[in-house]
Structure 1
Amino acid sequence: MTDQPELAFAEAGEAAELVAFLARQLRWDRTAAARLKVEGEVLAIFTRPARFEVLAVRPVRLNEPAGLDRTVSVGELVEALDEERGAVRLPGAVTGPSWAGVLPPRGGWRPLAELPHRTVWESATAVVAEFRERTEALAPDERTRATLDALAEEIWSRTLGATGLPLRAVHAAHALGLLRSAEPVRVLERGGWLRMRTALGSTAVRVRGVGGLGVTPV
């Protein structure tokens, strides 16, 4: 395998979808990194959008099986995506951030709930609207970083119904475009992790301890 292997996507338009997904990451952090893992015919792209304290996972089906584990610059990855050919020649590896060494477990997830898409979508838009309204209600001299951070923590630490999933995971999925499919949304649990899986990807968050973590050195 060369240092810049090329991966071809199984579905037309997937490269354009990935450009849009990764561009959302870059809006928060121009220096963002992504960990790429290929097992068989599935490429899993792991990212951690700034401020959310949530891992996002975007799976992509490939034309043929491969094996690869690499952390790359999100900006370089976007530039390497060829929308016309539906492929990507992977950029070189970078030193990964600390989160890239501790990923959610690959299997063994226990289902907690299946929710209608509309319920989850409305929860996401409601917390975004509440944050905006409460921010705008503050006097200009009260809109300090500490005040806004405390407000965000209050709102996005709430849970999605009785699932225990922090709303920051729902907010992240909404912001990354993972709630665009109208299919039901599933909440799953494994050890100290909770995961929200949609038809387009997942968000995962550690909620207690370190039990059940899948730790892989970068």
Structure 2
Amino acid sequence: MSVIAPLHFADAREAADLAAFLGRLLRYDRAAAVRLQAGGGALAVFGRPPSFEVLAIRTARLADVVELDVTVSAGELLEGIEESAGKAVVPGAVTGPPWAGVLPPRGGWAPVEGVPGAPALRAVVAAAVAEFRARDQALPQERRNRAERDRIGRDIWSRTVADTGLPLRAVHAAQSLGFLPPHEVPVSLLAAGPWLRLRTPYGSVALRTTPTLTLTPS
């Protein structure tokens, strides 16, 4: 088995940010795998947190031009990150989950109109969480089970944001993974074929969908 050279980040903060992302991902799945793609001095890390049904994408700048495409354990990658040194030891490859073979396209993205700003998106998520809790508490004892809670969750998180076709679960995922921090950040929504991508400076979430979209010429 070939040995992959350590990745050296352009800035130690890149290593810290990647470590934070992996830590959040592992809270949802302790056995999570991530796919790494590096090229042109940049690294893209793809993960799939359970229940959100989206792909999470975190990018980082590298100090060297490295070509890499491998699926690894998220936990082992986190253990191999040396934040103070700004580098990461890439663990051995693992058999990737099915999602790792179907990634969003690298190009061809066009802006989608109508996405609210970060404060409005966080407010929508907060309202949805409050609604879920209220509906859960209103359930009679005999119906307070996993199946009923899943039904309520599907009803709430499948709703779309404004007229964008973006499911609310994607915004919830972005906030849960630290891509929508509690301060003002630029937010954009992009589309490429059947894919939608909600992007902030902290990361992106992407999903396959087939809504009717209004695009803005780039």
Other-structure match for 1:111:
111
Which residues in structure 2 correspond to 1:64-83 (within 5 Å)?
64-83=64-83
In structure 1, distance between residues paired with 2:9 and 2:26? 22
Other-structure match for 1:212:
none
**Which moves more between the two structures, 112-121 or 24-33?**
112-121
**Which moves more between the two structures, 178-187 or 33-42?**
178-187
Contact 1:34–1:47 (Cα < 8 Å) also in 2: yes
Indicate the SS of the match to 1:90. coil
Other-structure match for 1:214:
none
Let me know the Cα RMSD of the aligned residues: 1.5
Contact 1:120–1:185 (Cα < 8 Å) also in 2: no
Percent identical pairs in the alignment equals: 52
Indicate the SS of the match to 1:65. coil
The match for 1:186 among 158, 170, 188 is 188
Other-structure match for 1:131:
132
The structural deviation recorded for 1:138 is 2.2
In structure 2, distance between residues paired with 1:115 and 1:175? 18
**Structure 1 residue ranges (4+ consecutive) displaced by more than 3 angstroms after TM superposition:** none
The structural deviation recorded for 1:24 is 1.3
**Which moves more between the two structures, 80-89 or 111-120?**
111-120
Other-structure match for 2:197:
195
Contact 1:44–1:57 (Cα < 8 Å) also in 2: yes
Other-structure match for 2:17:
17
Deviations along 1:66-92, one digit per CA (max 9) or x if unpaired, are 100000011111111111111101000
The structural deviation recorded for 1:188 is 1.0
In structure 1, distance between residues paired with 2:95 and 2:132? 35
Indicate the SS of the match to 2:41. strand
Residue correspondences, number: 208
Other-structure match for 2:61:
61
In structure 2, distance between residues paired with 1:104 and 1:141? 42
**Which moves more between the two structures, 176-185 or 128-137?**
128-137
The structural deviation recorded for 1:129 is 2.3
In structure 2, distance between residues paired with 1:42 and 1:185? 21
Deviations along 1:36-79, one digit per CA (max 9) or x if unpaired, are 00011110000000111100100111112110000001111111
Deviations along 1:168-204, one digit per CA (max 9) or x if unpaired, are 1100001000012622211111111111111111101
**Which moves more between the two structures, 92-101 or 131-140?**
131-140
Q: Does 1:168 align with 2:169?
A: yes
Amino acid at match of 1:129: A
Indicate the SS of the match to 2:204. strand
The structural deviation recorded for 1:136 is 2.6
In structure 2, distance between residues paired with 1:9 and 1:130? 42
Other-structure match for 1:216:
none
Indicate the SS of the match to 2:16. helix
Structure whose residues are more often strand by fraction: 1
In structure 2, distance between residues paired with 1:142 and 1:16? 44
In structure 1, distance between residues paired with 2:81 and 2:98? 25
In structure 1, distance between residues paired with 2:36 and 2:104? 13
**Which moves more between the two structures, 101-110 or 123-132?**
123-132
Amino acid at match of 1:205: L
In structure 1, distance between residues paired with 2:135 and 2:11? 42
In structure 2, distance between residues paired with 1:143 and 1:72? 38
The structural deviation recorded for 1:143 is 2.1
